[in-house]
A and B are shown apart, each in its own frame.
Chain A
Amino acid sequence: MRREPPRTLADYTPLAFPALMLIVFFVIPFSTMIAVSFFQRNPAGFYTPDFVFDNYARFLSLFFAKVLGFSLMLAVLVAVCCIAIAFPFTYLLTRQSRKMQTVWLVCLLSVLSLSEVIIGFAWQTLFSRTAGITNLLVAMGLMTEAKALTPGFGAVLTGMVYQALPYTILVLYPALVRLDPTLLEAARTLGASPVRAFLNVVLPALRNTIVATLIMVFVFALGSYLLPQMLGRPQHWTLSVLITDQAIYQSNMPFAAAMAVFLVLISLALVGLTLMLGRRENAG
């Protein structure tokens, strides 16, 4: 059956339900949120309709600048750590047997689907005084006394890398598994060692993929809403945590919405950049 353009109205019927659902329950909520970001806070209810820029004006404070700066710095750090670990790993994984790859992919998907609550709880436990990793170090004689490693910046970073690592590997996987094997063969026949071939051939060939993945992981890390709260101190809170906090605990929906719109703009700009990079890679 060839693909044909729809001719009659009846041809459009399959589209009706999906279009309706996506418009009513995604486009409208999204627009509502944008509208609310210009509304005024109403301590008694959710908000009062209005058209003010107050919620955006609040961004111009030192506190907000600090949170934003910290969020961006943390997300960059997570993205860099994840790529540094995941790129060589994914490369090696794609050269394993199919069976081995499948087993790893199942494990990675299982970790990826874990709730942030569970990841936070698991690392809290691993970093705790009574059940934590320091007990192991004490038993090995490397430390004198078990201690808690959370809350702290290291704990936040570790938890977020843990959350984003399977995602990074799965984003890199298609590009690496489809990498032309003759490229590498050529390098090897010309006398390059495996490590050299990896550094001088594979890495440069996938430069754009790496940058695109870096951005995707960055956006992913920017969205982490519980780990900074569960594993860190208030100064480690990110924009996502702040949005949740304002929306739920401070019941200041307009301000939360304004921050969310801001976060959308950052994310969209970065996703757009990724798409452009992807296009260039396909063209070149």
Chain B
Amino acid sequence: MSERLLRRFYFFLVGLFLAAPLVVVAGVSVNEKQDLAFPPKGFSLAWYGQIFTNPEWRLALIHSVTLAVCSAAIAVAIALPLSWFLWRRIAPWANIFQVLGLAPFILPPVITALGFLTFWATVGLFGQFFTAIISHAIFFVTLPLVTLSLGFASIDRSLVEAASTMGADDRTVLKTVVLPLILPYLVSGYAFAFVLSLNEYIVAYMTIGFTTETLPIKIFNALRYGYTPTMASVSVFFVAIAALVFGLIAKFGDIRRLLGAMSSDAN
């Protein structure tokens, strides 16, 4: 019994550590006046309204969402044909592209960010909004690449075999068998890239930080000029989006499998 109690206590401590800063931020975000006070003085949701009504915050929100929607789409567009090719063909040298896709995510982010900064500065496009979209797409291509590789590995090859013996050509097999089977992995890959792009700071800052503000950049810049509870409400808003997206993935997919609970034995 004491063992169980100890375990509960340990879970509680880790949970408290993870939740504490967010609880305080959530508390701060409902202050009635422009205070940094916890427990909050008064109660007001006005700071949440600010995200959408204050022109500066709204613009930052629009930038962030545009960036995340587009870059995640490009990331998936890169990852899907690549992982399909690697699954369909025997071409060991093509694995180099998989490594290239994983590299930006494994290296310290500052390095990737600086690589983009020097590149865009050299080609003379520094500061254009689309450069951030491409940079994020490359930076986060790892996520759809990993989920899609898992997805392809989970496909029962005899199913595909059956389709092709019955006369389906490559294109038909892809459309009627393969794509429906990997759709959940595609969606979760997109969702991962979307959430992370929304939160990303350094790559966005080094590509478009001087001309455009995304929400994380806006929070950082605003912090320098003092404090407003809007930062807290944006933070809570972001946590809520992340929890919602990952919660949906967990509900409609198998998040344990995505995170490696079962080995991808089809390899």
Contact partner, B157, options A1, A15, A36, A260, Cβ 8 Å? A1
Q: Is the CB of B88 within 8 A of A21?
A: no
Q: How far is the CA of A118 from the CA of B122 in the complex (A)?
A: 31
Binary interface profile of A, 87-116, with partner B (CB < 8 Å = 1, else 0)? 011001000001001100111111101111
Most buried by B among A21, A98, A170: A21
Take A113-B242, A125-B25 as given contacts and tell me if A25 and B89 are in contact as well, using a CB distance cutoff of 8 Å: no
Q: Is the CB of A115 within 8 A of B199?
A: yes
Q: Is the CB of A109 within 8 A of B100?
A: no
B183: CB under 8 A from chain A?
A: no
Chain A: CB-nearest residue to B219: A117
Q: Is the CB of B14 within 8 A of A89?
A: yes
Q: How far is the CA of A107 from the CA of B14 in the complex (A)?
A: 12
Q: Is the CB of B164 within 8 A of A114?
A: no
A130: CB under 8 A from chain B?
A: yes
Min CB distance B157 to A, Å, is 7
Q: How far is the CA of A12 from the CA of B199 in the complex (A)?
A: 35
Q: Is the CB of A166 within 8 A of B18?
A: yes
Q: Is the CB of A173 within 8 A of B261?
A: yes
Contact partner, A194, options B3, B209, B242, Cβ 8 Å? B3
* List of A residues within 8 angstroms of B217 by Cβ: 117
* List of B residues within 8 angstroms of A105 by Cβ: 246, 250, 255-256, 259
Take A115-B238, A117-B219, A219-B108 as given contacts and tell me if A131 and B28 are in contact as well, using a CB distance cutoff of 8 Å: yes
B226: CB under 8 A from chain A?
A: no
Q: Is the CB of A102 within 8 A of B256?
A: yes
Report the interface size for chain B: residues with CB under 8 A from the other chain.
95
Q: Is the CB of B201 within 8 A of A125?
A: no
A271: CB under 8 A from chain B?
A: yes
Chain A: CB-nearest residue to B204: A115
Take A125-B232, A174-B261 as given contacts and tell me if A263 and B89 are in contact as well, using a CB distance cutoff of 8 Å: no
Q: Is the CB of B238 within 8 A of A219?
A: no
Q: Is the CB of A107 within 8 A of B255?
A: no
Contact partner, B201, options A32, A117, A219, Cβ 8 Å? A117
Q: How far is the CA of A114 from the CA of B205 in the complex (A)?
A: 16
Contact partner, A111, options B18, B85, B262, Cβ 8 Å? B18
Take A6-B89, A264-B107 as given contacts and tell me if A46 and B201 are in contact as well, using a CB distance cutoff of 8 Å: no
Q: Is the CB of A225 within 8 A of B202?
A: yes
**A50-58, A180-188, A239-247 - the one binding chain B:** A239-247
B82: CB under 8 A from chain A?
A: yes
Chain A: CB-nearest residue to B99: A22
Which residues from chain A sit less than 8 Å from chain B, CB to CB?
Answer: 1-6, 11-12, 14-15, 17-19, 21-23, 25-30, 32-33, 36, 46, 85, 88-89, 92, 98, 101-102, 105-111, 113-119, 121-126, 128, 130-133, 135, 162, 165-166, 170, 173-174, 177-178, 194, 219, 222-223, 225-226, 230, 240, 243-244, 247-248, 253, 256-257, 260, 263-264, 267-268, 271
Question: Can you list the 8 inter-chain pairs with the closest CB atoms, starting with the nearest?
Answer: A223-B108, A174-B260, A29-B119, A131-B38, A122-B21, A18-B82, A115-B199, A14-B81
> Would you give 23 A-B contacts (Cβ < 8 Å), ordered by A?
A15-B97, A17-B77, A18-B79, A18-B97, A26-B104, A26-B115, A33-B115, A36-B122, A89-B10, A102-B255, A114-B242, A117-B220, A121-B235, A122-B235, A130-B38, A131-B27, A131-B28, A135-B38, A174-B260, A240-B110, A243-B111, A243-B114, A268-B107
